[in-house]
Structure 1
Amino acid sequence: MNLLDSKHYLLSATLKEEKIDGYDAYPLCLPAIRGLTDKLMFHDAVTFIVGENGTGKSTLLEAIAVSQGFNPEGGTKNFNFSTRSSHSNLSDYLRIAKAIKRPKTGYFLRAESFYNVATEIERLDNEPSFGPPVIDSYGGVSLHEQSHGESFFALMQNRFGANGLYILDEPEAALSPNRQMAMITLLHQLVNQGCQFIIATHSPILLSYPNSTIYEIREHGLVQVDYEDTDTYSVTKHYLNNHRSMLDILLEEEK
Protein backbone atom coordinates (compact mmCIF):
# COMPACT_ATOMS: atom_id res chain seq x y z
CA MET A 1 0.00 0.00 0.00
CA ASN A 2 1.30 3.45 -0.93
CA LEU A 3 0.85 5.51 2.24
CA LEU A 4 1.07 8.76 0.26
CA ASP A 5 -1.98 7.73 -1.81
CA SER A 6 -3.95 6.35 1.12
CA LYS A 7 -7.30 7.89 2.00
CA HIS A 8 -7.03 6.34 5.46
CA TYR A 9 -6.02 7.93 8.70
CA LEU A 10 -5.81 4.59 10.46
CA LEU A 11 -4.64 1.64 8.38
CA SER A 12 -4.66 -1.36 10.70
CA ALA A 13 -4.55 -2.65 14.25
CA THR A 14 -2.75 -5.65 15.63
CA LEU A 15 -1.41 -6.84 18.95
CA LYS A 16 2.12 -6.27 20.22
CA GLU A 17 2.57 -9.98 20.76
CA GLU A 18 6.08 -9.46 22.09
CA LYS A 19 4.54 -7.72 25.15
CA ILE A 20 1.98 -10.46 25.87
CA ASP A 21 2.65 -13.36 28.23
CA GLY A 22 -0.72 -15.06 27.76
CA TYR A 23 -4.33 -14.64 26.72
CA ASP A 24 -6.09 -15.88 29.84
CA ALA A 25 -6.62 -12.55 31.60
CA TYR A 26 -9.02 -9.72 30.70
CA PRO A 27 -9.08 -8.07 28.21
CA LEU A 28 -6.78 -10.29 26.16
CA CYS A 29 -9.11 -13.26 26.70
CA LEU A 30 -11.98 -11.62 24.78
CA PRO A 31 -12.76 -13.09 21.33
CA ALA A 32 -12.38 -9.71 19.62
CA ILE A 33 -8.91 -9.28 21.06
CA ARG A 34 -7.62 -12.79 20.43
CA GLY A 35 -8.46 -12.20 16.77
CA LEU A 36 -5.95 -9.37 16.57
CA THR A 37 -3.06 -11.79 16.24
CA ASP A 38 -3.88 -11.10 12.57
CA LYS A 39 -4.09 -7.52 11.34
CA LEU A 40 -7.43 -5.77 11.50
CA MET A 41 -7.43 -3.73 8.30
CA PHE A 42 -9.50 -0.55 8.41
CA HIS A 43 -11.59 0.55 5.46
CA ASP A 44 -10.72 4.06 4.30
CA ALA A 45 -14.37 5.08 4.76
CA VAL A 46 -16.32 2.93 7.24
CA THR A 47 -15.32 -0.12 9.27
CA PHE A 48 -18.06 -1.89 11.23
CA ILE A 49 -17.46 -4.28 14.12
CA VAL A 50 -20.41 -6.45 15.14
CA GLY A 51 -20.91 -9.27 17.60
CA GLU A 52 -22.71 -10.48 20.68
CA ASN A 53 -22.60 -8.62 23.99
CA GLY A 54 -19.49 -9.46 25.97
CA THR A 55 -17.33 -10.37 22.98
CA GLY A 56 -15.17 -7.25 23.22
CA LYS A 57 -16.54 -4.72 20.71
CA SER A 58 -16.60 -1.77 23.10
CA THR A 59 -13.30 -2.76 24.72
CA LEU A 60 -11.61 -2.86 21.32
CA LEU A 61 -13.08 0.47 20.19
CA GLU A 62 -12.13 2.11 23.46
CA ALA A 63 -8.54 0.90 23.10
CA ILE A 64 -8.32 2.19 19.52
CA ALA A 65 -9.69 5.55 20.65
CA VAL A 66 -7.34 5.83 23.64
CA SER A 67 -4.38 4.90 21.43
CA GLN A 68 -5.23 7.96 19.29
CA GLY A 69 -5.39 10.33 22.23
CA PHE A 70 -9.14 10.39 22.89
CA ASN A 71 -10.59 10.45 26.39
CA PRO A 72 -11.78 6.94 27.43
CA GLU A 73 -15.24 8.28 28.29
CA GLY A 74 -15.62 10.00 24.94
CA GLY A 75 -15.37 13.42 23.35
CA THR A 76 -12.63 15.13 21.39
CA LYS A 77 -8.93 14.91 22.15
CA ASN A 78 -9.34 18.10 24.17
CA PHE A 79 -11.54 16.38 26.75
CA ASN A 80 -9.60 15.28 29.81
CA PHE A 81 -12.02 14.19 32.53
CA SER A 82 -12.80 10.98 34.36
CA THR A 83 -16.14 10.19 35.97
CA ARG A 84 -15.11 6.64 36.77
CA SER A 85 -11.83 5.14 35.62
CA SER A 86 -12.88 1.78 34.23
CA HIS A 87 -11.14 1.49 30.88
CA SER A 88 -8.82 -1.44 30.23
CA ASN A 89 -5.11 -1.31 29.48
CA LEU A 90 -5.62 -2.84 26.04
CA SER A 91 -4.29 0.26 24.28
CA ASP A 92 -0.87 -0.59 25.73
CA TYR A 93 -0.90 -3.79 23.70
CA LEU A 94 -2.19 -2.34 20.42
CA ARG A 95 -0.04 -1.46 17.45
CA ILE A 96 -1.89 0.99 15.19
CA ALA A 97 -0.54 1.61 11.70
CA LYS A 98 -1.33 5.14 10.53
CA ALA A 99 -1.13 6.81 7.15
CA ILE A 100 0.98 9.88 6.54
CA LYS A 101 -2.20 11.94 6.21
CA ARG A 102 -3.55 13.12 9.58
CA PRO A 103 -7.18 13.89 10.44
CA LYS A 104 -8.04 17.54 11.05
CA THR A 105 -10.62 16.69 13.69
CA GLY A 106 -12.14 13.69 15.42
CA TYR A 107 -14.47 12.36 18.07
CA PHE A 108 -14.95 9.28 20.20
CA LEU A 109 -18.66 8.72 20.80
CA ARG A 110 -19.77 6.03 23.20
CA ALA A 111 -23.42 5.70 24.08
CA GLU A 112 -22.93 4.54 27.66
CA SER A 113 -20.99 7.62 28.77
CA PHE A 114 -22.45 10.34 26.54
CA TYR A 115 -24.26 11.78 29.58
CA ASN A 116 -20.85 12.33 31.20
CA VAL A 117 -19.60 14.19 28.12
CA ALA A 118 -22.68 16.44 28.13
CA THR A 119 -22.10 17.17 31.83
CA GLU A 120 -18.44 18.03 31.19
CA ILE A 121 -19.46 20.47 28.44
CA GLU A 122 -21.76 22.26 30.90
CA ARG A 123 -18.99 22.32 33.53
CA LEU A 124 -16.53 23.90 31.09
CA ASP A 125 -19.08 26.48 29.98
CA ASN A 126 -19.66 27.48 33.60
CA GLU A 127 -15.99 28.42 33.96
CA PRO A 128 -15.85 32.14 33.06
CA SER A 129 -12.21 32.05 32.02
CA PHE A 130 -12.56 29.05 29.72
CA GLY A 131 -13.36 30.95 26.51
CA PRO A 132 -16.14 30.70 23.91
CA PRO A 133 -18.98 28.35 24.97
CA VAL A 134 -18.17 24.75 24.06
CA ILE A 135 -21.86 24.09 23.46
CA ASP A 136 -21.74 26.41 20.42
CA SER A 137 -19.92 23.60 18.61
CA TYR A 138 -22.82 21.27 19.40
CA GLY A 139 -25.64 23.42 18.04
CA GLY A 140 -25.91 25.93 20.90
CA VAL A 141 -28.53 24.02 22.93
CA SER A 142 -27.62 22.13 26.10
CA LEU A 143 -27.36 18.43 25.35
CA HIS A 144 -29.09 17.77 28.68
CA GLU A 145 -32.09 19.83 27.55
CA GLN A 146 -32.71 17.60 24.55
CA SER A 147 -33.83 14.00 24.33
CA HIS A 148 -31.09 11.41 24.19
CA GLY A 149 -31.69 10.91 20.47
CA GLU A 150 -31.82 14.63 19.71
CA SER A 151 -28.57 15.28 21.56
CA PHE A 152 -26.82 12.43 19.72
CA PHE A 153 -27.98 13.76 16.38
CA ALA A 154 -27.10 17.35 17.29
CA LEU A 155 -23.59 16.15 18.05
CA MET A 156 -23.21 14.44 14.68
CA GLN A 157 -24.76 17.32 12.73
CA ASN A 158 -22.82 20.12 14.41
CA ARG A 159 -19.58 18.72 15.82
CA PHE A 160 -18.58 16.24 13.11
CA GLY A 161 -16.71 17.98 10.30
CA ALA A 162 -14.72 17.22 7.18
CA ASN A 163 -11.46 15.24 7.20
CA GLY A 164 -12.18 13.70 10.58
CA LEU A 165 -11.60 10.41 12.35
CA TYR A 166 -14.74 9.24 14.17
CA ILE A 167 -14.89 6.23 16.47
CA LEU A 168 -18.49 5.42 17.41
CA ASP A 169 -19.59 2.84 19.97
CA GLU A 170 -23.23 1.81 19.43
CA PRO A 171 -24.41 5.22 18.15
CA GLU A 172 -27.85 3.72 17.40
CA ALA A 173 -28.58 3.36 21.13
CA ALA A 174 -30.52 6.63 21.25
CA LEU A 175 -31.74 6.77 17.66
CA SER A 176 -35.11 5.72 16.28
CA PRO A 177 -35.16 3.69 13.03
CA ASN A 178 -35.93 6.88 11.11
CA ARG A 179 -33.02 8.67 12.75
CA GLN A 180 -30.74 5.72 11.97
CA MET A 181 -31.64 6.07 8.31
CA ALA A 182 -30.96 9.80 8.54
CA MET A 183 -27.61 8.96 10.10
CA ILE A 184 -26.72 6.90 7.02
CA THR A 185 -27.24 10.02 4.90
CA LEU A 186 -25.08 12.08 7.26
CA LEU A 187 -22.46 9.33 7.36
CA HIS A 188 -22.28 9.33 3.55
CA GLN A 189 -21.93 13.11 3.39
CA LEU A 190 -19.03 12.99 5.84
CA VAL A 191 -17.35 10.10 4.02
CA ASN A 192 -17.49 12.23 0.86
CA GLN A 193 -15.76 14.98 2.85
CA GLY A 194 -12.77 12.79 3.65
CA CYS A 195 -13.86 11.27 6.96
CA GLN A 196 -13.05 7.80 8.29
CA PHE A 197 -15.37 5.95 10.69
CA ILE A 198 -14.87 2.93 12.93
CA ILE A 199 -18.24 1.84 14.34
CA ALA A 200 -19.38 -0.88 16.72
CA THR A 201 -23.09 -1.49 16.25
CA HIS A 202 -26.04 -3.83 16.70
CA SER A 203 -28.10 -1.91 14.13
CA PRO A 204 -29.00 -3.75 10.90
CA ILE A 205 -29.93 -0.35 9.46
CA LEU A 206 -26.55 1.31 10.01
CA LEU A 207 -24.75 -1.88 9.04
CA SER A 208 -26.32 -1.73 5.57
CA TYR A 209 -24.15 1.24 4.57
CA PRO A 210 -22.52 -0.05 1.36
CA ASN A 211 -19.13 1.67 1.34
CA SER A 212 -17.73 -0.30 4.26
CA THR A 213 -15.92 -3.31 5.65
CA ILE A 214 -17.69 -5.47 8.24
CA TYR A 215 -15.94 -7.58 10.86
CA GLU A 216 -18.02 -9.98 12.92
CA ILE A 217 -16.71 -11.30 16.23
CA ARG A 218 -17.03 -15.07 16.27
CA GLU A 219 -15.76 -17.75 18.61
CA HIS A 220 -12.16 -17.58 17.40
CA GLY A 221 -11.95 -13.88 16.65
CA LEU A 222 -12.76 -11.32 13.99
CA VAL A 223 -13.99 -12.47 10.58
CA GLN A 224 -14.63 -10.20 7.62
CA VAL A 225 -18.14 -10.86 6.33
CA ASP A 226 -20.75 -9.52 3.93
CA TYR A 227 -23.75 -7.65 5.29
CA GLU A 228 -26.27 -10.43 4.68
CA ASP A 229 -23.96 -12.98 6.33
CA THR A 230 -23.93 -11.19 9.68
CA ASP A 231 -25.99 -12.47 12.60
CA THR A 232 -27.30 -8.93 12.98
CA TYR A 233 -28.93 -9.10 9.57
CA SER A 234 -30.03 -12.73 9.55
CA VAL A 235 -31.53 -12.75 13.07
CA THR A 236 -33.40 -9.48 12.50
CA LYS A 237 -34.71 -10.61 9.11
CA HIS A 238 -35.83 -13.98 10.45
CA TYR A 239 -37.61 -12.41 13.39
CA LEU A 240 -39.42 -9.76 11.34
CA ASN A 241 -40.50 -12.30 8.72
CA ASN A 242 -41.64 -14.81 11.34
CA HIS A 243 -42.50 -12.70 14.36
CA ARG A 244 -45.71 -14.56 15.23
CA SER A 245 -44.10 -17.99 15.29
CA MET A 246 -41.03 -16.58 17.03
CA LEU A 247 -43.22 -15.05 19.74
CA ASP A 248 -44.94 -18.41 20.18
CA ILE A 249 -41.52 -19.96 20.84
CA LEU A 250 -40.23 -17.14 23.05
CA LEU A 251 -43.38 -16.98 25.16
CA GLU A 252 -44.07 -20.69 25.26
CA GLU A 253 -43.25 -20.93 28.97
CA GLU A 254 -45.91 -18.34 29.77
CA LYS A 255 -48.77 -20.32 28.22
Structure 2
Amino acid sequence: MFSGLYLTRIELRQPVDAELAQSYVFSLPAVKHLGRLELRQPVTFLVGENGTGKSTLLEAVAVACGFNPEGGTRNFSFSTSDTHSLLHRALIVSKGVKRPKDGFFLRAESFYNVATEVDRLDKITPVPLLKSYGGRSLHCQSHGESFLALMLHRFGGQGLYLLDEPEAALSPSSLFAMLIRMRDLVERDSQFLIATHSPILMAYPGAEIYQLDEVGIRLTPYGETSHYLLTRQFLNYPQKMLEDLFRED
Protein backbone atom coordinates (compact mmCIF):
# COMPACT_ATOMS: atom_id res chain seq x y z
CA MET A 1 0.00 0.00 0.00
CA PHE A 2 1.09 3.59 -0.62
CA SER A 3 3.45 4.62 2.18
CA GLY A 4 3.30 8.40 1.75
CA LEU A 5 1.84 11.15 -0.42
CA TYR A 6 3.98 13.39 -2.61
CA LEU A 7 1.48 16.27 -2.53
CA THR A 8 -0.44 16.91 0.68
CA ARG A 9 -2.04 20.34 0.34
CA ILE A 10 -2.89 23.01 -2.23
CA GLU A 11 -3.73 26.49 -1.02
CA LEU A 12 -3.97 30.05 -2.24
CA ARG A 13 -1.18 32.32 -1.12
CA GLN A 14 -2.43 35.23 0.98
CA PRO A 15 -2.48 38.03 0.26
CA VAL A 16 -2.72 37.50 -3.49
CA ASP A 17 -0.39 39.65 -5.54
CA ALA A 18 -2.37 42.68 -6.78
CA GLU A 19 -1.34 42.12 -10.41
CA LEU A 20 -2.29 38.45 -10.33
CA ALA A 21 -5.61 39.24 -8.66
CA GLN A 22 -6.70 41.09 -11.80
CA SER A 23 -6.51 37.88 -13.85
CA TYR A 24 -9.74 36.22 -14.98
CA VAL A 25 -8.71 33.00 -13.23
CA PHE A 26 -9.57 34.53 -9.86
CA SER A 27 -13.22 34.64 -10.90
CA LEU A 28 -13.31 30.88 -11.48
CA PRO A 29 -14.97 28.83 -8.71
CA ALA A 30 -11.94 26.53 -8.45
CA VAL A 31 -9.78 29.52 -7.54
CA LYS A 32 -12.27 31.85 -5.88
CA HIS A 33 -13.21 29.19 -3.32
CA LEU A 34 -9.85 27.45 -3.10
CA GLY A 35 -8.71 28.30 0.40
CA ARG A 36 -6.98 25.07 1.43
CA LEU A 37 -7.36 21.77 -0.42
CA GLU A 38 -6.15 18.75 1.53
CA LEU A 39 -4.88 15.70 -0.36
CA ARG A 40 -5.22 12.65 1.88
CA GLN A 41 -5.57 9.70 -0.50
CA PRO A 42 -3.41 8.34 -3.33
CA VAL A 43 -6.21 9.24 -5.79
CA THR A 44 -8.01 12.58 -5.70
CA PHE A 45 -10.53 13.82 -8.26
CA LEU A 46 -11.52 17.38 -9.15
CA VAL A 47 -14.98 17.39 -10.72
CA GLY A 48 -17.38 20.08 -11.84
CA GLU A 49 -19.15 21.62 -14.80
CA ASN A 50 -17.30 23.18 -17.72
CA GLY A 51 -15.94 26.56 -16.77
CA THR A 52 -15.48 25.90 -13.07
CA GLY A 53 -11.70 26.06 -13.46
CA LYS A 54 -10.67 22.55 -12.47
CA SER A 55 -8.33 22.20 -15.47
CA THR A 56 -6.87 25.66 -14.79
CA LEU A 57 -6.20 24.67 -11.19
CA LEU A 58 -4.64 21.35 -12.20
CA GLU A 59 -2.41 23.12 -14.74
CA ALA A 60 -1.23 25.56 -12.07
CA VAL A 61 -0.43 22.70 -9.69
CA ALA A 62 1.52 20.97 -12.47
CA VAL A 63 3.56 24.10 -13.25
CA ALA A 64 4.19 24.67 -9.53
CA CYS A 65 5.55 21.10 -9.40
CA GLY A 66 7.94 21.76 -12.28
CA PHE A 67 6.01 20.23 -15.17
CA ASN A 68 5.72 21.72 -18.64
CA PRO A 69 2.36 23.58 -18.83
CA GLU A 70 1.57 21.80 -22.13
CA GLY A 71 2.17 18.39 -20.60
CA GLY A 72 4.82 15.72 -20.37
CA THR A 73 7.53 15.06 -17.82
CA ARG A 74 9.59 17.59 -15.89
CA ASN A 75 12.24 17.22 -18.61
CA PHE A 76 9.92 18.50 -21.35
CA SER A 77 10.52 22.18 -22.10
CA PHE A 78 8.83 22.69 -25.47
CA SER A 79 6.24 25.41 -25.99
CA THR A 80 3.85 25.75 -28.92
CA SER A 81 1.62 28.42 -27.39
CA ASP A 82 2.23 30.39 -24.21
CA THR A 83 -1.36 30.45 -22.99
CA HIS A 84 -1.15 29.07 -19.46
CA SER A 85 -2.22 31.31 -16.59
CA LEU A 86 0.05 32.69 -13.87
CA LEU A 87 -2.03 31.02 -11.16
CA HIS A 88 0.92 28.83 -10.15
CA ARG A 89 2.59 31.95 -8.72
CA ALA A 90 -0.30 32.35 -6.28
CA LEU A 91 -0.31 28.73 -5.08
CA ILE A 92 1.38 27.07 -2.15
CA VAL A 93 1.79 23.38 -2.96
CA SER A 94 2.83 21.42 0.12
CA LYS A 95 4.85 18.28 -0.46
CA GLY A 96 5.31 15.14 1.57
CA VAL A 97 8.57 13.80 2.97
CA LYS A 98 9.11 11.44 0.03
CA ARG A 99 9.93 12.66 -3.46
CA PRO A 100 8.51 10.93 -6.55
CA LYS A 101 10.92 9.13 -8.84
CA ASP A 102 8.55 9.46 -11.79
CA GLY A 103 5.93 11.96 -12.88
CA PHE A 104 3.81 13.11 -15.78
CA PHE A 105 1.31 15.86 -16.54
CA LEU A 106 -1.29 14.69 -19.07
CA ARG A 107 -3.68 17.17 -20.61
CA ALA A 108 -5.96 15.90 -23.32
CA GLU A 109 -6.08 19.15 -25.30
CA SER A 110 -2.32 19.32 -25.91
CA PHE A 111 -1.42 15.64 -26.02
CA TYR A 112 -0.75 15.89 -29.78
CA ASN A 113 2.06 18.33 -29.01
CA VAL A 114 3.48 15.99 -26.37
CA ALA A 115 3.46 13.09 -28.87
CA THR A 116 5.29 15.28 -31.38
CA GLU A 117 7.92 16.18 -28.79
CA VAL A 118 8.42 12.50 -27.91
CA ASP A 119 9.09 11.74 -31.58
CA ARG A 120 11.54 14.66 -31.83
CA LEU A 121 13.46 13.66 -28.72
CA ASP A 122 13.56 10.03 -29.82
CA LYS A 123 15.60 11.08 -32.85
CA ILE A 124 18.22 13.03 -30.91
CA THR A 125 18.71 11.12 -27.65
CA PRO A 126 21.35 8.37 -27.33
CA VAL A 127 18.79 5.96 -25.85
CA PRO A 128 15.59 5.67 -27.97
CA LEU A 129 12.85 7.46 -26.04
CA LEU A 130 9.99 5.64 -27.75
CA LYS A 131 11.00 2.43 -25.99
CA SER A 132 9.58 3.84 -22.74
CA TYR A 133 6.32 4.69 -24.54
CA GLY A 134 5.70 1.19 -25.86
CA GLY A 135 8.12 1.24 -28.81
CA ARG A 136 5.72 2.87 -31.30
CA SER A 137 5.11 6.52 -32.08
CA LEU A 138 2.09 7.84 -30.23
CA HIS A 139 1.06 9.46 -33.53
CA CYS A 140 0.79 5.99 -35.09
CA GLN A 141 -1.93 4.96 -32.66
CA SER A 142 -5.46 6.13 -32.10
CA HIS A 143 -5.94 8.82 -29.48
CA GLY A 144 -7.24 6.27 -26.98
CA GLU A 145 -4.49 3.75 -27.73
CA SER A 146 -1.82 6.39 -27.20
CA PHE A 147 -3.33 7.39 -23.83
CA LEU A 148 -3.30 3.77 -22.66
CA ALA A 149 0.21 3.22 -24.04
CA LEU A 150 1.34 6.17 -21.95
CA MET A 151 -0.13 4.70 -18.78
CA LEU A 152 0.97 1.13 -19.46
CA HIS A 153 4.52 1.84 -20.59
CA ARG A 154 5.64 5.32 -19.55
CA PHE A 155 4.14 5.46 -16.04
CA GLY A 156 6.51 3.35 -13.98
CA GLY A 157 5.41 3.73 -10.39
CA GLN A 158 6.66 5.79 -7.43
CA GLY A 159 5.25 8.65 -9.43
CA LEU A 160 3.14 11.78 -9.25
CA TYR A 161 0.63 11.75 -12.12
CA LEU A 162 -1.52 14.80 -12.86
CA LEU A 163 -4.20 13.99 -15.43
CA ASP A 164 -6.55 16.48 -17.07
CA GLU A 165 -9.67 14.83 -18.50
CA PRO A 166 -7.95 11.56 -19.51
CA GLU A 167 -11.36 10.09 -20.38
CA ALA A 168 -11.57 12.35 -23.45
CA ALA A 169 -10.13 9.69 -25.75
CA LEU A 170 -11.13 6.52 -23.93
CA SER A 171 -14.01 4.12 -24.48
CA PRO A 172 -15.79 2.66 -21.43
CA SER A 173 -13.77 -0.56 -21.69
CA SER A 174 -10.56 1.46 -21.91
CA LEU A 175 -11.60 3.38 -18.81
CA PHE A 176 -11.87 0.07 -16.97
CA ALA A 177 -8.36 -0.79 -18.18
CA MET A 178 -7.21 2.58 -16.89
CA LEU A 179 -8.70 1.86 -13.46
CA ILE A 180 -6.79 -1.42 -13.29
CA ARG A 181 -3.55 0.33 -14.23
CA MET A 182 -4.19 3.07 -11.67
CA ARG A 183 -4.57 0.43 -8.96
CA ASP A 184 -1.31 -1.21 -10.02
CA LEU A 185 0.51 2.13 -9.91
CA VAL A 186 -0.96 3.10 -6.54
CA GLU A 187 0.27 -0.23 -5.18
CA ARG A 188 3.68 0.87 -6.46
CA ASP A 189 3.62 4.11 -4.44
CA SER A 190 2.03 6.44 -6.98
CA GLN A 191 -0.29 9.40 -6.45
CA PHE A 192 -2.92 10.71 -8.86
CA LEU A 193 -4.63 14.09 -9.03
CA ILE A 194 -7.24 13.96 -11.81
CA ALA A 195 -9.67 16.49 -13.26
CA THR A 196 -12.49 14.52 -14.85
CA HIS A 197 -16.12 14.31 -15.96
CA SER A 198 -16.15 10.49 -15.95
CA PRO A 199 -18.36 8.69 -13.39
CA ILE A 200 -16.45 5.51 -14.24
CA LEU A 201 -13.10 6.96 -13.18
CA MET A 202 -14.59 8.66 -10.13
CA ALA A 203 -15.62 5.23 -8.82
CA TYR A 204 -11.99 4.35 -8.01
CA PRO A 205 -12.13 2.70 -4.54
CA GLY A 206 -11.08 4.96 -1.68
CA ALA A 207 -10.61 8.04 -3.85
CA GLU A 208 -11.59 11.44 -2.54
CA ILE A 209 -13.73 13.61 -4.79
CA TYR A 210 -13.78 17.39 -4.62
CA GLN A 211 -16.80 18.84 -6.38
CA LEU A 212 -16.34 22.40 -7.63
CA ASP A 213 -19.20 24.81 -8.31
CA GLU A 214 -20.32 28.37 -7.68
CA VAL A 215 -21.08 27.52 -4.05
CA GLY A 216 -17.60 26.27 -3.25
CA ILE A 217 -15.26 23.29 -3.18
CA ARG A 218 -16.34 20.37 -1.02
CA LEU A 219 -15.59 16.71 -0.50
CA THR A 220 -18.50 14.80 -2.02
CA PRO A 221 -19.33 11.08 -1.79
CA TYR A 222 -19.30 9.38 -5.17
CA GLY A 223 -23.05 8.68 -5.15
CA GLU A 224 -23.81 12.34 -4.44
CA THR A 225 -21.79 13.91 -7.23
CA SER A 226 -23.81 15.64 -9.92
CA HIS A 227 -22.04 13.57 -12.60
CA TYR A 228 -23.13 10.29 -11.04
CA LEU A 229 -26.69 11.41 -10.31
CA LEU A 230 -27.29 12.77 -13.80
CA THR A 231 -25.74 9.75 -15.51
CA ARG A 232 -27.76 7.33 -13.37
CA GLN A 233 -30.95 9.22 -14.08
CA PHE A 234 -30.29 9.10 -17.82
CA LEU A 235 -29.42 5.38 -17.85
CA ASN A 236 -32.52 4.54 -15.84
CA TYR A 237 -34.90 6.72 -17.84
CA PRO A 238 -33.28 7.56 -21.20
CA GLN A 239 -36.51 7.94 -23.17
CA LYS A 240 -38.13 10.19 -20.59
CA MET A 241 -35.08 12.40 -20.29
CA LEU A 242 -34.77 12.72 -24.05
CA GLU A 243 -38.44 13.62 -24.32
CA ASP A 244 -37.96 16.28 -21.65
CA LEU A 245 -34.86 17.64 -23.36
CA PHE A 246 -36.51 17.85 -26.78
CA ARG A 247 -39.89 19.07 -25.60
CA GLU A 248 -40.79 22.41 -27.15
CA ASP A 249 -41.70 25.20 -24.76
- Normalised by the length of structure 2, the TM-score is 0.95
Distance (Å, rounded) in 1 between the aligned partners of 2:21 and 2:184: 40
1:1-255 residue pairs with structure 2 within 5 A? 7-21=4-18, 25-37=23-35, 39-127=36-124, 130-253=125-248
Q: Secondary structure at the match of 1:36?
A: coil
Report if aligned partners of 1:19, 1:93 keep a CA contact under 8 Å in 2: yes
Return the letter of the residue paired with 1:80: S
Could you tell me how far 1:249 is from its partner in structure 2?
1.5
Return the letter of the residue paired with 2:176: M
Question: How many residues in Structure 1 have an aligned counterpart in Structure 2?
Answer: 247
Report if aligned partners of 1:166, 1:198 keep a CA contact under 8 Å in 2: yes
Distance (Å, rounded) in 2 between the aligned partners of 1:140 and 1:95: 38
Return the letter of the residue paired with 2:30: A
Report if aligned partners of 1:6, 1:99 keep a CA contact under 8 Å in 2: no
Q: Any gaps of 5 or more consecutive residues in structure 1?
A: none
Could you tell me how far 1:252 is from its partner in structure 2?
2.2
Distance (Å, rounded) in 1 between the aligned partners of 2:64 and 2:199: 28
Between 1:17-26 and 1:71-80, the stretch displaced more is 17-26
Q: Secondary structure at the match of 2:27?
A: coil
Q: Secondary structure at the match of 1:71?
A: coil
Cα root mean square deviation, aligned: 1.6
Q: Secondary structure at the match of 1:95?
A: strand
Could you tell me how far 1:210 is from its partner in structure 2?
1.4
Q: Any gaps of 5 or more consecutive residues in structure 2?
A: none
Return the letter of the residue paired with 1:50: V
Q: Secondary structure at the match of 1:190?
A: helix
Report if aligned partners of 2:41, 2:206 keep a CA contact under 8 Å in 1: no
Return the letter of the residue paired with 1:26: Y
Deviations 1:93-141 (A, max 9, x none): 00011111100110000111000000111122233xx221211110001
| Aligned residues with identical type, % of pairs | 53
Return the letter of the residue paired with 2:34: L
Distance (Å, rounded) in 2 between the aligned partners of 1:156 and 1:6: 21
